[in-house]
Amino acid sequence: MKKDIVNKKKSESGLESNPSKKKVPKIFYFIMMMLPVLFFTVIEISLRITGYGEDNRQWVERGDKYFINPNIASRYFSNVKRLPSPIEDVFDIEKKDNAYRIFVLGGSTAAGFPYQPMGSFSRYIRKRLEMNYSNKTIEVVNIAMSAVNTYTVLDLIPGVIEQEPDVILIYAGHNEYYGALGVGSMESIGSSRKIANTILYLNRFKTIQFIRDLIGNAAKIIDEDEIRPGTLMSRMAEKKSIEYQSPVFYKGIRQFEGNLRAIIKKCKDAGVPLILSTLTSNTKDQKPFKDIKSSQHPSAKEIFEKARSALANNEIQLADKQFILAKDLDGLRFRAPTEINNVITELGKEFNLPVVDVDSAFRAASDNNIVGDKLMTDHLHPTIEGYQLLGKIYYECIHENGLLPEDLPKYPYENQHDRIIKDFMITDLDRKIGDFTILKLKNDWPFIHPNEKKPLTDIIKISTQTDALSLLVVNNEIKWLMAHIELAKTALAHEDIEIFLRHMDVLLYQYPIDEETYDLVIRELLKRGRLPDALPYLQMRYKLGSNAFISKWLGIILITKGEIKKAFKYLNESKAFNPNDPQTYYNLCVCHLYEKQHEKAIQALNKCLKINPNFPGAKELLKQIENH
């Protein structure tokens, strides 16, 4: 009776389920959860199969080499028509046992703007390493880009760690506000680092590209002018006024600290040495871009003028202090505030990391210890001499922290810098391109009011072919590569082989796996009988892959140097590639004669004459051998 009452109460209260109702299997819920995943997976695979969108994977292959994807910036920019591009430094897919590998990351200064690729500080480091450790495979890989900040560095760092670097160098912080995804950038998506970094990860997928393109196309219909004209610098600033110590100002500092801390932890966890650097900028000769009227702080421009007056009165310490304050008060955050350097220094101490004090080094090399136009082209990009100094102090930091190769360097440490400066691989064309780039930059906002902008032809005077080609490069009408090739052709037309080689050497230093450039240099040198000059180019070309022509000429030149066994090796290789080249057999004959193998010499010469009965000198040589 009591049991019936209890069951009745359970039934009335709904505590007992309907026995006729079946329990839903757990697999049903799993399937329901997986359907959206399956849906997006199908879309992603379909988009990849059809080749939709940009290929923005981090590395692309060329033969047995990797280099940074030229389209990598599409991960970070959606509102910029012409994307910034990184230097395409190559490195081996499979790291060699004798390799010494450095990666350089950061913004435009790390990339070497406006003198990239040859003026960057990474070129100094690479050249100095190659000079001292010729038995090592030196790989200094610069993947820095203009208009990016620590969001980009953090996104790229896992892929860099995968490549087993011996050292990672970072110079970043100036772009923290206006670089891609920065709190003041036109590419900003808010101040949440978690959201920004999640979106960066998702941007690798074609599905997200597709959604982003849909939104972008809709925006074009609404606003046809959404792609802004002008320099990249002028286009990236969305919030054109960020007051010193304002909430947005501190969001930028927190963004920088959070991203840099995450970068450091990833390197620490992987056991990869990381070197940070303080930032420097032009405080003496770059007035503040923007004055903000505020009751909290003085006028940036008034402080700047006071600094100039103090400098004129030889009050150096006061002038320096006020120049720095004027820079910090500048409402346009194109130069990193002092707080950024404070973060770098503190994180270096916290994680026991080496920090290159670039700011102090630049100040020490500047008049009155205040950084100005002596070492700066504009507000923060160094001159060629400034980049060489930057490379020097990074190299010294690598040395002081015991991170250089263990081999004994070829030259005494104290003499190395002067040797590098003497042979620094940069041409008049590279310098002129950089100079014209700065003139173009300063012919736009924020350096001038947009109404004051002039046609480039009014501010850039063309008097030489170098000038004309430089302007074409600056205006993106021809590539840097083609400008060098045009000047090399002109040099050839005037039989100026030294200038020709100067341009070719620069191209080969930038593109060391370009077989066609090697072939061009080799043929022009051989055509002019400059066999000793051709030898190093033949040897480098041989490493990329041999053929009948390359092997043959290596053999011929080595005969002239008396290296007969090596000559045999290359000439026999050439014969295997092409068994019908009379020149190869003629030179094999010469090798046999050196080795006093007269019968083999006659056989080789007969083969030469069979292929070409009129081969120059062959009949005469045969008579001499037979009469010997």
CA dihedral of residues 464, 465, 468, 471 (deg, nearest 10) = -100
CA 319, chain centre distance (Å): 36
State the pLDDT confidence band at 238, using cuts at 50, 70 and 90.
low
In a domain, residue 345? The reply is yes
Is residue 22 domain-shared with residue 80, that is, in the same domain? no
H-run or E-run covering 379: none
CA dihedral of residues 386, 389, 390, 393 (deg, nearest 10) = -160
* The 3-state secondary structure of 498-539, one letter per residue: HHHHHHHHHHHHHCCCCHHHHHHHHHHHHHCCCHHHHHHHHH
What is the residue whose two structure tokens read 């590569």? 481
Mean pLDDT over residues 273-285, rounded?
98
Q: From CA 209, how far away is CA 212, in angstroms rounded?
A: 5
Is residue 200 domain-shared with residue 88, that is, in the same domain? yes
Q: Token pair of 47, please?
A: 């988009």
pLDDT at 212: 63
Q: Lowest-confidence range among 19-33, 40-54, 104-118, 244-258? A: 19-33
Instruction: Using CB atoms within 10 Å of the CB of residue 517, give its burial: 0 to 12 exposed, 13 to 18 middle, 19+ buried.
Output: buried
In a domain, residue 458? The reply is no
pLDDT at 2: 46
Residue scoring higher pLDDT (308 or 230) = 308
pLDDT at 627: 80
**C-alpha pair distances (Å), 251 with each of 37, 43, 256:** 34, 36, 9
* Residue 48 clears pLDDT 80, i.e. is over it: no
* Residue 8 clears pLDDT 60, i.e. is over it: no
Is residue 67 domain-shared with residue 126, that is, in the same domain? yes
Mean pLDDT over residues 277-288, rounded?
98
Is residue 191 domain-shared with residue 276, that is, in the same domain? yes
Is residue 275 domain-shared with residue 406, that is, in the same domain? yes
* Residue 118 clears pLDDT 60, i.e. is over it: yes
119-141: per-residue pLDDT in tens?
A: 999 999 999 999 999 999 999 99
In a domain, residue 269? The reply is yes
Q: From CA 628, how far away is CA 622, in angstroms rounded?
A: 10
pLDDT at 501: 97
State the pLDDT confidence band at 13, using cuts at 50, 70 and 90.
very low
Mean pLDDT over residues 353-379, rounded?
98
Mean pLDDT over residues 371-398, rounded?
98
State the pLDDT confidence band at 278, using cuts at 50, 70 and 90.
very high
* Residue 495 clears pLDDT 60, i.e. is over it: yes
Q: What secondary structure letter does DSSP report for 407?
A: S
Mean pLDDT over residues 136-162, rounded?
96
Q: Where are the alpha helices (DSSP H) in 19-75?
A: 26-49
Instruction: Using CB atoms within 10 Å of the CB of residue 221, give its burial: 0 to 12 exposed, 13 to 18 middle, 19+ buried.
Output: exposed
Mean pLDDT over residues 361-385, rounded?
98
Mean pLDDT over residues 28-37, rounded?
60
Is residue 101 domain-shared with residue 43, that is, in the same domain? no
Contact 316, 370 (CB under 8 A): yes
In a domain, residue 418? The reply is yes
CA 190, chain centre distance (Å): 28
Mean pLDDT over residues 417-437, rounded?
94
Burial state string for 81-120 with b = 16 or more CB within 10 A and e = fewer than 16: eebbbbbbbbbeeebeeebbbbbbbbbbbbbbbbbbbbbb
Q: From CA 91, how far away is CA 140, in angstroms rounded?
A: 8
Mean pLDDT over residues 11-31, rounded?
55
In a domain, residue 466? The reply is no
* Residue 52 clears pLDDT 70, i.e. is over it: no
The percentage of the chain sitting over the pLDDT mark of 90, rounded to a whole number, equals 75
State the pLDDT confidence band at 224, using cuts at 50, 70 and 90.
very low
Which of 408, 426, 444 is a domain's end point?
426
What is the residue whose two structure tokens read 């981090």? 58
Partners of residue 90 on adjacent β-strands: 67
In a domain, residue 96? The reply is yes
* Residue 9 clears pLDDT 50, i.e. is over it: no
Contact 568, 591 (CB under 8 A): yes
317-330: per-residue pLDDT in tens?
A: 999 999 999 999 99
Contact 471, 456 (CB under 8 A): yes
State the pLDDT confidence band at 26, using cuts at 50, 70 and 90.
low
Is residue 190 domain-shared with residue 231, that is, in the same domain? yes
Q: From CA 494, how far away is CA 486, in angstroms rounded?
A: 13
Which of 409, 426, 443 is a domain's end point?
426
Dihedral sign from CA coordinates of 495, 497, 499, 500: positive
Q: What are phi and psi of 65, to 5 degrees?
A: -115, 155
Report how far apart the first and last C-alpha atoms of the chain are (Å, whole number): 134
**The domain spanning residue 416 has which CATH number?**
3.40.50.1110
Q: Residue 547 is which amino acid?
A: N
pLDDT at 120: 96
Mean pLDDT over residues 490-497, rounded?
96
Q: Checking phi first, is residue 181 left (phi over 0); if not, alpha (psi -120 to 50) or beta? A: left
How many residues would you count in the chain? Answer: 628
Mean pLDDT over residues 91-119, rounded?
97
Q: From CA 132, how far away is CA 521, in angstroms rounded?
A: 26
Is residue 217 domain-shared with residue 139, that is, in the same domain? yes
**C-alpha pair distances (Å), 55 with each of 86, 152, 187:** 15, 17, 20
Mean pLDDT over residues 186-196, rounded?
67
pLDDT at 295: 80
Is residue 353 domain-shared with residue 420, that is, in the same domain? yes
pLDDT at 188: 59
* Residue 220 clears pLDDT 60, i.e. is over it: no
Contact 101, 401 (CB under 8 A): no
**C-alpha pair distances (Å), 587 with each of 109, 159, 620:** 52, 50, 14
Which of 329, 350, 385 is a domain's end point?
329
Mean model confidence pLDDT for the chain:
89
State the pLDDT confidence band at 513, using cuts at 50, 70 and 90.
very high
In a domain, residue 456? The reply is no
CA-wise closest residue to 273 among 171, 403, 170: 403
CA dihedral of residues 472, 474, 480, 482 (deg, nearest 10) = -10
Contact 333, 252 (CB under 8 A): yes
Is residue 86 domain-shared with residue 158, that is, in the same domain? yes
Q: In which domain, by residue range, is 246 found?
A: 59-282+334-426
* Residue 470 clears pLDDT 90, i.e. is over it: yes
Q: Lowest-confidence range among 160-169, 294-303, 573-582? A: 294-303
Domain count, the chain: 3
Mean pLDDT over residues 361-384, rounded?
98
Contact 179, 121 (CB under 8 A): no
In a domain, residue 434? The reply is no
H-run or E-run covering 51: none
pLDDT at 423: 86
Q: Residue 123 is which amino acid?
A: R
pLDDT at 225: 44
Is residue 257 domain-shared with residue 225, that is, in the same domain? yes
Q: Lowest-confidence range among 99-103, 230-234, 561-565? A: 230-234
Is residue 274 domain-shared with residue 406, that is, in the same domain? yes
